Structure 1
Amino acid sequence: MSRTSSTKCKKKHFKPKHQKSKLFRANEPLLSVFMWGVNHTVNELNHVNIPVMLMPDDFRAFTKVRVDNHLYQKDIMPSHFKIKEYCPLVFRNLRERFSIYESDYLRSLTKFQPVAVDLLSGRPTKFYSTYDNQLILKTLSSDEVENMHHLLKEYHPYIVERYGKTLLPQYLGMYRLTVEGQVTYIVVMRNIFNSRLPIHKKYDLKGSNPENREASEKERGKNLPCFKDNDFIKDGAKLYLDLERKTKLISTLEADTAFLARENLIDYSLCLGIHDCAKYQQDDVNSPRSTSSNDDEDEAAGDSGSPKDFSGGDNRHNEGERLMTSAPLSPGGESGKQIYFMGLVDVLTQFGLRKRIVTIDPEQYRKKFMEFIARAIVIP
């Protein structure tokens, strides 16, 4: 007797999948447009062949996008806006020089909206920090944009020559946004304070007429005030560095400030953040954390440069950007540690007719600045 076997075929039903459009939710229309624009321009650049070398035209190039929507995502995005990206190939090359992957740049700027931060006091500009604290967005005036264009042609070869070892701002992108008829210029930079370690004290140091520069009473009332030259002197503050680190820091600042003087730029300052290890450890005891403070400090104590988790590589570009030292925290105090985060800021002020009336020339400014910083460094 033969047996016949029957098989049943079960049909599978597939639901059609539709590509989801990425939403860029933000509290400000400007930020929504910025996130959309960065996403668009970075993705467009992915389809452009990387040139062997940059040409003069690349420093004048730009891309423009105009969007006109009718009732489309009106609760998220403005109906009409324009985006302009300046020198896209130049800034992509700079991101590469600073060891920042395009995917990381895109994620930092678009995964979540940037948050407004009070970075430096007395500035007429706005600052925003990315959700991961890696990048800073700074609004620019039209004069600063013009100065940026002039500077970029010299800034890029300088960064190439220095192999990215600089305390100058790390410029990563520049955009013009037009939202509801309002024009805003934004430059993207790497955040000086991009570590998980908290900053306990912050200074903005120029070295020119230090006795006249103090934090205002309003500034002192903030959670993390930005103190100035005279406050630094009155505090008896010092940078405790061994000879090797001091030499590297001074060498980098000498090269950077010489570059700024050649470009006729003045009024810059050293933004200095100090992490107090003893205070941090005490706070850590009072407030347990999932990650030990020692791990964080070991990360920061390594060779100076960018954090390893940002670009996926072991980047060691900026000599002096992140320095750890063993020294008394105060005269006669117990031995402790400080970690310094620093970088040059506000480097786009051109020395011209308006500035000649009220200040010294770029070479004199540079000399006073370097003298002040050199006096602030102590070898334990």
Structure 2
Amino acid sequence: MSGAGIISTDGTKTKTKRFKVKHPKRKLYRSSEPLLSVFMWGINHTVKELEHVSIPVMLMPDDFRAFSKVKVDNQAFNKENLPSHFKVKDYCPLVFRNLRERFGIDDQDYLRSMTKDSPKPMDSPGRSGAKFYASHDKLFVIKTLTSEEVEQMHSLLKQYHPFIVERHGKTLLPQYLGMYRITVDNNECYMVVMRNIFSSHLNIHKKYDLKGSTIDREASQKEREKDNPTFKDNDFINDGVKIHIGDEAKQKLMETLAADVEFLAKLHIMDYSLLLGVHDCEEAEREAAERGTVDLDGVDEEVGDEEYDSGGSGVALTPPDSPQAPSRSQSVNGASRIDPEKDIYAIPSRSTSQSREIYFLALVDVLTHYGVKKQAAKVAKTVKYGAGVDGISTAEPDQYSSRFLEFISKAIE
């Protein structure tokens, strides 16, 4: 602030004051990739736009075709992070807002997770060429889609939403939370946001992608060289892995899985997988001991020594219309604890199991329709391996679903 003199018409001098204009702080959306900076900006814009839209009593057919678009040209704000020209398209905004609500996700929490810091790249678990990113708090996963997959998502949504409503959110299907098209430098990128299957705070010590088939179902050498590879059906069998959760938890899990798989079969969808992550509690204790946070005699300095063995906290085992498992964190002996609000796919091993583990499991890759391409692939594989071979991954939806459920059921004890 500084003083300045102004001479008036009558010759007197008056003092005026100059003030520095204070601009409100604005989010930076800083990322090493312009695409992610625009994605963060777009999430913020679209969620805040929805704040002014009244929640409809029920969704209408037009809501499944709706979209919102924003085009930004010659913008000068935050030029070091955001490009000058970009476009954001938000698909079916009311449908996805309703789905977030059904999955118990508050829009403000969603906004904080997606925009507080840049999403981080993840290893791609498959051969699709899709890119994966995790939100900074690891609660959500962002996956890039092809334009064909966007069409499949539109087609799926019309049946997926009523199914989620009917099941009261109790499903192992992917939890789809938003779908966007981001355009930077005339390059279009389609992205879908999903709930992360794995825990945001517990290490996953081993991962398996299970289809229930045995032909060409081993992790490649390239995959095995990764820090945390994703193994496949034959690796699972050869490792002698079992999911030790007990009869009651198995029955509830298989009921949920059977409902999901029946839904997919009706839509002629196949080639999906059960993604399984195993957290080894004893390994976690050793890791924690190296950090100096856990006493290996069983006393956890951070969470106490309470044992949790209720059969799981998540969507697979929670009956519809019942409250979720206790909202407080639960320890499964020592270093490992389940957060029921975040670890929704977690199922601890039964108390009588020799190995103390926590399993994270859900369905993935549910956008493959059994159409002309897959029918041709089945013919080609049948010629290669013989008509009598049952382990071919490409199979008709009903055959695929029954084989899949049988394999998973045998894997659970």
Q: Could you say which TM-score interval applies, normalised by the shorter chain?
A: 0.7 to 0.9
2:50 is matched with 45
- The offset of 1:69, in angstroms, is 1.6
Does residue 302 of structure 2 align to residue 292 of structure 1?
A: yes
Matched position secondary structure for 1:37: helix
1:304 is matched with 314
2:230 is matched with 226
2:361 is matched with 342
Does residue 171 of structure 2 align to residue 166 of structure 1?
A: yes
Match of 1:262 among 258, 266, 269: 266
Matched position secondary structure for 2:68: strand
Does residue 74 of structure 2 align to residue 69 of structure 1?
A: yes
Q: Which moved more, 1:139-148 or 1:73-82?
A: 73-82
2:250 is matched with 246
* Alpha-carbon separation, structure 2, partners of 1:118 and 1:251: 31
* Alpha-carbon separation, structure 2, partners of 1:127 and 1:337: 30
Kindly tell me the number of residue pairs found equivalent between the two proteins. Answer: 356
2:8 is matched with none
* Alpha-carbon separation, structure 1, partners of 2:24 and 2:342: 39
- The offset of 1:22, in angstroms, is 1.6
1:361 is matched with 396
Does residue 347 of structure 2 align to residue 323 of structure 1?
A: yes
Q: Any idea what the Cα deviations from partners look like across 1:220-262, whole Å, max 9, x if unmatched?
A: 1111110000000000011111111100110011000000011
* Alpha-carbon separation, structure 2, partners of 1:293 and 1:118: 31
* Alpha-carbon separation, structure 1, partners of 2:200 and 2:26: 32
- The offset of 1:337, in angstroms, is 0.7
Q: Work out whether residues 98 and 317 of structure 1, in 8 Å CA contact, stay in contact via their aligned partners in 2.
A: no
Match of 1:177 among 167, 182, 192: 182
Q: 1:316 to 1:135 in 2, by over 3 A?
A: closer
Q: Any idea what the Cα deviations from partners look like across 1:356-378, whole Å, max 9, x if unmatched?
A: 12232111110111111011112
Q: Any idea what the Cα deviations from partners look like across 1:176-227, whole Å, max 9, x if unmatched?
A: 011111110000000001341100000000012x242000111111111100
- The offset of 1:101, in angstroms, is 0.3
Matched position secondary structure for 1:138: strand
Q: 1:315 to 1:197 in 2, by over 3 A?
A: closer
1:24 is matched with 29
* Alpha-carbon separation, structure 2, partners of 1:92 and 1:254: 27
* Alpha-carbon separation, structure 1, partners of 2:226 and 2:343: 32
- The offset of 1:298, in angstroms, is 5.0
Does residue 275 of structure 2 align to residue 271 of structure 1?
A: yes
Structure 1 gap ranges (5+): 1-12, 330-334
Matched position secondary structure for 1:177: strand
* Alpha-carbon separation, structure 2, partners of 1:294 and 1:204: 34
* Alpha-carbon separation, structure 1, partners of 2:32 and 2:226: 24
Q: Any idea what the Cα deviations from partners look like across 1:41-92, whole Å, max 9, x if unmatched?
A: 0001001111111111100000000000255432111111110000000000
2:204 is matched with 199
Q: TM-score, normalised by structure 1?
A: 0.88
Q: Which moved more, 1:127-136 or 1:301-310?
A: 301-310
* Alpha-carbon separation, structure 2, partners of 1:157 and 1:55: 12
RMSD: 2.6
* Alpha-carbon separation, structure 2, partners of 1:287 and 1:197: 15
Q: Work out whether residues 202 and 271 of structure 1, in 8 Å CA contact, stay in contact via their aligned partners in 2.
A: yes
Q: TM-score, normalised by structure 2?
A: 0.81
Matched position secondary structure for 2:58: coil
Matched position secondary structure for 1:196: coil
Match of 2:105 among 86, 95, 100: 100
* Alpha-carbon separation, structure 2, partners of 1:230 and 1:36: 43
Match of 2:83 among 78, 82, 89: 78
* Alpha-carbon separation, structure 2, partners of 1:80 and 1:350: 36
* Alpha-carbon separation, structure 2, partners of 1:328 and 1:219: 34
Q: 1:296 to 1:15 in 2, by over 3 A?
A: farther
Q: Work out whether residues 24 and 76 of structure 1, in 8 Å CA contact, stay in contact via their aligned partners in 2.
A: yes
1:3 is matched with none
Q: Work out whether residues 314 and 340 of structure 2, in 8 Å CA contact, stay in contact via their aligned partners in 1.
A: no
- The offset of 1:288, in angstroms, is 2.0
* Alpha-carbon separation, structure 1, partners of 2:280 and 2:136: 24
Q: Any idea what the Cα deviations from partners look like across 1:89-109, whole Å, max 9, x if unmatched?
A: 000000000000001000000
* Alpha-carbon separation, structure 2, partners of 1:296 and 1:346: 37
Percent of aligned pairs with the same amino acid = 55
Q: Work out whether residues 301 and 339 of structure 1, in 8 Å CA contact, stay in contact via their aligned partners in 2.
A: no
* Alpha-carbon separation, structure 2, partners of 1:70 and 1:324: 51
* Alpha-carbon separation, structure 2, partners of 1:338 and 1:16: 58
Matched position secondary structure for 1:336: coil
- The offset of 1:284, in angstroms, is 1.3
Q: Which residue type is aligned with residue 26 of structure 1?
A: S
* Alpha-carbon separation, structure 1, partners of 2:184 and 2:306: 41
Q: Any idea what the Cα deviations from partners look like across 1:272-298, whole Å, max 9, x if unmatched?
A: 000001111111112224973768985
Q: 1:300 to 1:117 in 2, by over 3 A?
A: farther
* Alpha-carbon separation, structure 2, partners of 1:280 and 1:327: 17
* Alpha-carbon separation, structure 1, partners of 2:24 and 2:75: 21
1:5 is matched with none
